[in-house]
Structure 1
Amino acid sequence: MKGDQAFDLVHDSQLIYREMLEAVSRPGTISNIKTVLTKLPDSPVNPGLIGMALTILDGETSFAVVPEFSKLSSYIQQKTGSRVETLDQADYILMHDLSLVPSFSEVIETIKKGTLIDPHDSATLLIQVKSFSATNGAPYILSGPGIASESQVPIEGLPENWEKTRQRANKEFPLGIDFFFVSQAAEILSIPRTTRIRKA
């Protein structure tokens, strides 16, 4: 690997994991994992997306890449020992370029959402977006557990009406899917299934 230091799957992933936990516990809060991503100079896509994947994937988990990108899949397999699975069976879905996804809603409809016996047997989405910029991003209002009243966050780079697609997928709580977003600046944002969201 190029660079002065290699990404440490123990220490560096722990840092990212802490930021991901913070994002989950406080939906709408934007965390930054940029400090460790200089150690991923050979990542085939946004290092922020790769950093999260290296943190949560291991030999006991599976993933799918949307759209398909063999270089990315091979990279993650080599680094984590995780296995590639079909979209409807994968534990984690990595969406690295939404502009190349023909139907966002079709992807959401296909991925697993858990069962009443095991609602956590559902997929988690890791989605690359452009930014959380108030200048360019569409503003959304979040409410629910972990949010005192309401939280407003702008997200740039998502398909039109994606939040309605998410709402349909999560309508039978506790079944549903959890979302992580990562910006080009390696900022992360979580919107768990328990969070309500609407356009501002």
Structure 2
Amino acid sequence: MDHKGDILSGGFADPVFESQGVFRKLMDGMAQPGTIHVADARVKPPAPLGKAAGAVLLTLCDHDTPFWMNGELAKSGVPGWLSFHTGAELETDKSGARFAVFEAGAALTSLGLFSVGTQEYPDRSTTVLIEVAALDGGSPLRLTGPGIRDERQIAPQGLPQAFLHMWAENRLAFPRGIDVILTSGDSFLCLPRSTRIDLMEN
């Protein structure tokens, strides 16, 4: 399939202004885990990537940040689009990727297969974007940890079944570990590795 038209269009209309706006919201999201933010950017990534995921990737990726994508995304026009607009290149080795993206409904690969950084440089880890059906309306989850007073609740729809187990294992590596960004439509929320996530009882 010819993705050339999709690759050349759909980037930031105002790259400096829009990327700065998304970056500020990402920093706020990491400082306040679980809070929902809207990516106010005029981006239109190729299907099946959503707007918020596209805006986040355009903001964070550059020629020094290789990215990995799950099967369907990797075969779409998304890798070429992201490479064209940021200079980042698709990486097939999960441990070598600075960013990884799973489309909505995709099975989740073990987070331990990505780079968790080192004790000396824990920031040299992979940030994983997971697209979900919605950021609310699902099973309620309790968040606790830095940046959260007492607790915060989120209820994403379509979170992969194995996620909570993988997340518990991920936290054991702290200060190393994976940070996750959940995206849906034009919105996102951040889950830094320091956050504890528990399923709330009905």
Distance (whole Å) between structure 1 residues aligned to residue 127 and residue 154 of structure 2: 20
Percentage identity across aligned positions? 28
| Greater mean deviation of Cα atoms: 189-198 or 42-51 | 42-51
Partner of 1:131: 134
1:78 and 2:84 equivalent? Answer: yes
CA RMSD, 1 decimal:
1.8
Is the partner of 2:189 in helix, strand or coil? strand
Q: 1:7 to 1:58 in 2, by over 3 A?
A: same
Matched ranges for 1:63-74 at <5 A: 63-67=67-71, 68-74=74-80
Partner of 2:59: 55
What is the CA distance between 1:161 and its match in structure 2?
3.6
Partner of 1:113: 116
Report the TM-score, using the length of structure 1 for normalisation: 0.87
CA contact (8 A) 2:63 2:89 kept: yes
Could you list the runs of 5+ residues in structure 1 that have no partner in the other structure?
Answer: none
Is the partner of 1:24 in helix, strand or coil? helix
Deviations 1:68-105 (A, max 9, x none): 234111110000001222212100001123x243xx2x
Partner of 1:182: 183
- Out of 87, 90, 93, the position equivalent to 2:97 is 90
Distance (whole Å) between structure 1 residues aligned to residue 44 and residue 89 of structure 2: 23
Could you list the runs of 5+ residues in structure 2 that have no partner in the other structure?
Answer: 1-7
What is the CA distance between 1:42 and its match in structure 2?
5.1
Code of the aligned partner of 1:96: E
Task: Report how many residues are paired.
Answer: 189
Q: 1:69 to 1:7 in 2, by over 3 A?
A: farther
Report the TM-score, using the length of structure 2 for normalisation: 0.87
Runs (4 or more) in structure 1 with deviation over 6 Å come to none
